[in-house]
Structure 1
Amino acid sequence: MTTKRGVPVQLHPEISEPVEREAFRQAGLEAWRNYRKTGLHLGHTAADEWLAKLEAGEKVPAPDFQI
Structure 2
Amino acid sequence: MSTATPAPADRLLYRPEEAAEVLSIGRSTLYELMTAGLLESVKLGRCRRIRRSALEQYVNGLTPESH
Q: What TM-score comes out, normalization by structure 1 length?
A: 0.24
Structure with bigger strand share is: 2
- Higher RCO by CA contacts (8 Å cutoff, separation 6 or greater): 2
Q: Highest Rg: 1 or 2? A: 1
